[in-house]
């Protein structure tokens, strides 16, 4: 009898569901993609429904339903923290209570209700970091590996070191709340004016503009960092235990004034803070990894938890060569907890046998909904939308590349949607990475963000070493590496002075390499390596781009506008295409040109853009 397991993560951020059948990952998806609410934390009703449908399972046929953390333990942490600070913190405590009393403490009945009362068996709760560790190790290409998980906080744990061997994992050492690398990083995210649990990526992208001049201050005042990577935070500078903010006035005094207001001008202080906390993060990750090596003796490492999305720290760790190889699941944050929890039940509790697959077992993370040509044509025809249908893939790819080399921005919608925060060529906006204008064009006309960050490259695996200092795969955009020196441009005096401009967009727009749209100001890039086996048509598209141009690298950014979850359906894609200045939309074999479409009025466009909260 095959074992069918449903994993769920919810009620913090990035709710998700995943289904395993006999250990095989059949489907996994974040709830935000259906509800169109970024980082949606509500119960993932739509995600569960999709996963069961994809696996052709009725709720009653499930063997196990598993939730990615232990709510009572988490509640205990909440209570103990409140009592330790009481009466301070009453307000945040009272704000948190209704959701706990209404849903979180009644999870089994919530889950059963969402499965229409048709699931009668046990509901399992794994530990939060057990779920992270499972998501890191079980799908990895390693039969044996050390495991390092780092995030804000689960129940009590904020980081763990463990060992995975065959089908079992064991957590050997943990760090506990309130001491947390994730919360420390989020405190800086908050203070520099970005959104916690969302803007961490921006803070990481801001770091190359700054000088790490606050490193000593951070290590002196905020963090007591031990040799083994464990740490103690000085809580007199933080407010997350008792308040509604991450930091307090004392924190501000350390950095010369109050927190930056969201959307206001980014100053040198924020850049220096970003550079400093990045450096401190890298040092902490490095020490934790060394400890993991010492305790386990393993040659390979798996990483998970929100901090593992810090691809700059991952790239740094790889360079330090503590481990021969590192693997990070594409949904390294809490969404991946749904998958990890399901894997934990299959292997750890039910003793399912496991042999690591070459590459990994994530199927390229293409685990979400797919729409057939028939379904897409049905949508387009019903709305009288003009498009050209291609029977021949080669012709479709040739015309797509023609558009790209002609400076057009292309919405690329193919295959099953990606699981995890990155677009990997299934729901992507793509363009010519050699173009100097492409970056600002895409930022302003397509994504509506005044970004200081460059875009990420997708490179044919076999061509990546010619452009980047990377000697291995990076299939999920979770490693940063330098653009090779022979691709760098010599800067003119004028360009050198533009690199000091207070307007960061001017700096990032200086042509610093042969691939200006994807080269960061510190000459690094957040690489996705692409293979035919994993990426199918996306690989063939970049191959066609190479055939026409000699260059096996393109720009890949997620198919959404600012604040919007990545598009899921053809309808989402068409709306986003129409509301932005994208020139071409390719929905499987259907090719749409903007000039053939009716005009979207400014009012319609405005309404669309405003419907998403700034992230």
> CB of residue 397 vs Fe ion: minimum separation in angstroms?
39
Q: Does 69 bind Fe ion (CB under 5 A)?
A: no
At its nearest, how many Å lie between Fe ion and the CB of residue 33?
A: 19
Beta strands 388-389 and 325-327: pairing type? unpaired
Beta strands in 63-167 (DSSP E): 64-67, 123-125, 144-150, 157-165
Stretch that binds Fe ion, among 25-33, 147-155, 213-221, 421-429 (CB under 5 A): 147-155
615 makes contact with Fe ion (CB under 5 A): no
Count the site residues for Fe ion by CB under 5 A: 2
The residue (of 135 and 558) whose beta carbon lies closer to Fe ion is 135
Binding mask 416-455 for Fe ion (x = CB under 5 A): ----------------------------------------
Closer to Fe ion by Cβ: residue 54 or 151? 151
Tell me how far apart the alpha carbons of residues 86 and 94 are, in angstroms, rounded to a whole number: 12
Q: What are phi and psi for residue 447, nearest 5 degrees? A: -95, -15
- Taking the complex as a whole, the smallest distance from the CB of residue 238 to Fe ion amounts, in Å, to 19
151 belongs to the binding site for Fe ion (CB under 5 A): yes
Least distance CB 568 / Fe ion (angstroms)? 23
Separation in Å, CA 36 to CA 27, 31, 50, 567, 568: 19, 8, 15, 8, 9
Q: Near Fe ion by CB under 5 A, which window of 328-336, 357-365, 582-590, 606-614?
A: 328-336
If the CB atoms of residues 151 and 482 are measured against Fe ion, the closer one turns out to be 151
**C-alpha separations of 596 from 17, 338, 446, 560, 569 in Å:** 38, 42, 18, 21, 21
The owner of tokens 């963090």 is 223
Question: Residue 88's closest CA among 210, 265, 235, 234?
Answer: 235
Closest CA to 509 of 435, 429, 439, 556: 439
Q: How far is the CB of 333 from Fe ion (least distance, A)?
A: 6
Residue 600 CB neighbour total at 10 angstroms: 17
Q: Which is nearer to Fe ion, 162 or 454 (CB)?
A: 162
- Compute the least distance from the CB of residue 41 to Fe ion, in Å: 12
Binding region for Fe ion (CB under 5 A) out of 116-124, 148-156, 160-168, 391-399 = 148-156
In our burial notation (b when 16+ CB lie closer than 10 A, e otherwise), range 440-465 reads bbbbeebbbbebbbbbbbbbbbebbe
Other CB atoms closer than 10 Å to residue 22's CB: what's the count? 12
Of 37-45, 214-222, 333-341, 531-539, the window that binds Fe ion (rule: CB under 5 A) is 333-341
| 157 near Fe ion, rule: CB under 5 A | no
CA–CA distance from 480 to each of 209, 470, 473, 614 (Å)? 16, 9, 11, 26
Contacting range for Fe ion; rule: CB under 5 A; set: 149-157, 365-373, 406-414, 534-542:
149-157
Report, in Å, the least distance between residue 270 CB and Fe ion. Answer: 26
Give the span between the Cα atoms of 151 and 336, in whole angstroms.
12
DSSP-based three-state secondary structure for 390: coil
Residue 337 Cβ vs Fe ion, minimum distance, rounded to whole Å: 6
What order of strands is seen across the sheet that includes strand 24-30? 24-30, 16-21, 4-9, 64-67, 123-125
Closest contact distance (angstroms) between CB of 68 and Fe ion is 8
Kindly tell me which of 334 and 588 has the beta carbon lying closer to Fe ion: 334
Kindly tell me which of 68 and 214 has the beta carbon lying closer to Fe ion. 68
**Between 78 and 350, whose beta carbon lies closer to Fe ion?**
78
Q: Is 451 helix (H, G, I), strand (E, B) or coil?
A: coil
Residue 334 binds Fe ion, judged by CB under 5 A: yes
Q: How far is the CB of 501 from Fe ion (least distance, A)?
A: 38
Instruction: Give me the count of residues in the chain.
Output: 615
Q: Which is nearer to Fe ion, 334 or 415 (CB)?
A: 334
State the Cα–Cα distance between residues 404 and 252, nearest whole angstrom. Answer: 46
Residue 159 vs 298, nearer CB to Fe ion: 159
- Output 54 or 334, the one with its CB closest to Fe ion: 334
Shorter beta-carbon distance to Fe ion: residue 148 or 553: 148
C-alpha to C-alpha distance for 485 and 150, rounded to whole angstroms: 33
- Which position's Cβ is nearest Fe ion? 151
| Least separation in angstroms between CB 305 and Fe ion | 5
Contact present, 38 and 563 (Cβ < 8 Å):
yes
Question: Which residues are near Fe ion by CB under 5 A?
Answer: 151, 334
């Amino acid at each position: 009898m095959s074992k069918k397991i449903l994993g769920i993560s919810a009620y913090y951020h990035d709710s998700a569901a995943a289904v395993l059948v006999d250990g095989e990952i059949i489907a996994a998806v974040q709830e935000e993609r259906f509800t169109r609410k970024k980082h949606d934390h509500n119960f993932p009703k739509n995600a569960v429904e999709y996963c069961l449908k994809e696996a052709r399972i009725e709720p009653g046929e499930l063997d196990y339903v598993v939730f990615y953390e232990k709510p009572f333990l988490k509640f205990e942490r909440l209570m103990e923290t409140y009592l330790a600070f009481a009466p301070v913190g009453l307000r945040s405590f009272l704000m948190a209570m209704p959701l706990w009393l209404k849903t979180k403490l009644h999870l089994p009945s919530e889950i059963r209700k969402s499965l229409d009362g048709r699931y009668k068996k046990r509901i399992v709760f794994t530990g939060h970091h057990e779920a992270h560790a499972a998501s890191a190790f079980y799908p990895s290409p390693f039969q044996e590996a050390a495991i390092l998980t780092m995030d804000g906080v689960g129940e009590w744990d904020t980081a763990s070191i463990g060992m995975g061997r065959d089908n079992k994992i064991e957590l050997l050492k943990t760090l506990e709340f309130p001491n947390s690398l994730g919360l420390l990083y989020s405190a800086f995210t908050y203070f520099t004016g970005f959104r916690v649990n969302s803007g961490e990526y921006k803070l990481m992208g801001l770091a190359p503009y700054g000088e790490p001049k606050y490193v000593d201050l951070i290590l002196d005042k905020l963090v007591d960092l031990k040799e083994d990577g464990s740490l103690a935070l000085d809580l007199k500078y933080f407010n997350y235990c008792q308040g509604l903010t991450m930091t307090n006035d004392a924190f501000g005094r350390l950095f010369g004034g109050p927190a930056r207001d969201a959307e206001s001008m980014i100053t040198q202080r924020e850049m220096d803070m970003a550079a400093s906390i990045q450096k401190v993060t890298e040092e902490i990750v490095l020490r934790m990894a060394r400890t993991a090596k010492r305790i386990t003796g393993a040659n390979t490492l798996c990483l998970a938890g929100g901090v593992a999305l810090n691809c700059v720290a991952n790239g740094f760790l790889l360079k330090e060569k503590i481990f021969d190889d590192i693997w990070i699941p594409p949904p390294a944050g809490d969404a991946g907890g749904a998958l990890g929890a399901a894997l934990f039940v299959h292997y750890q509790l039910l003793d399912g046998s496991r042999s690591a697959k070459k590459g990994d077992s994530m199927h390229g993370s293409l685990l979400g909904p797919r729409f057939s040509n028939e379904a897409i044509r049905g949508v387009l025809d019903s709305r009288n939308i003009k498009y050209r249908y291609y029977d021949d893939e080669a012709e479709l790819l040739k015309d797509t590349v023609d558009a790209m080399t002609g400076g057009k921005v292309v919405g690329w919608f193919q295959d099953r949607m990606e699981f995890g925060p990155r677009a990997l060529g299934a729901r992507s906006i793509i363009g010519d990475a050699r173009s100097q204008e492409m970056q600002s064009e895409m930022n302003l006309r397509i994504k509506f963000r005044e970004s200081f960050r460059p875009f990420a490259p997708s490179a044919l695996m076999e061509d990546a070493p010619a452009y980047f200092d990377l000697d291995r795969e990076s299939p999920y955009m979770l490693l940063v590496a330098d653009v090779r020196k022979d691709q760098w441009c010599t800067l003119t005096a004028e360009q050198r002075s533009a690199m000091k401009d207070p307007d960061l967009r001017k700096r990032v727009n200086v042509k610093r390499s042969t691939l200006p749209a994807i080269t960061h100001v510190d000459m690094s890039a957040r690489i996705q390596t692409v293979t035919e086996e994993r990426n199918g048509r996306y690989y063939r598209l970049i191959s066609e781009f190479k055939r026409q141009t000699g260059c096996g690298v393109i720009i890949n950014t997620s198919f959404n506008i600012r604040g919007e979850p990545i598009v899921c359906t053809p309808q989402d894609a068409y709306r986003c295409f129409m509301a932005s200045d994208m020139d071409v939309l390719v929905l499987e074999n259907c090719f749409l040109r903007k000039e053939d479409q009716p005009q979207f009025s400014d009012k319609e466009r405005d309404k669309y853009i405003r419907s998403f909260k700034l992230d």
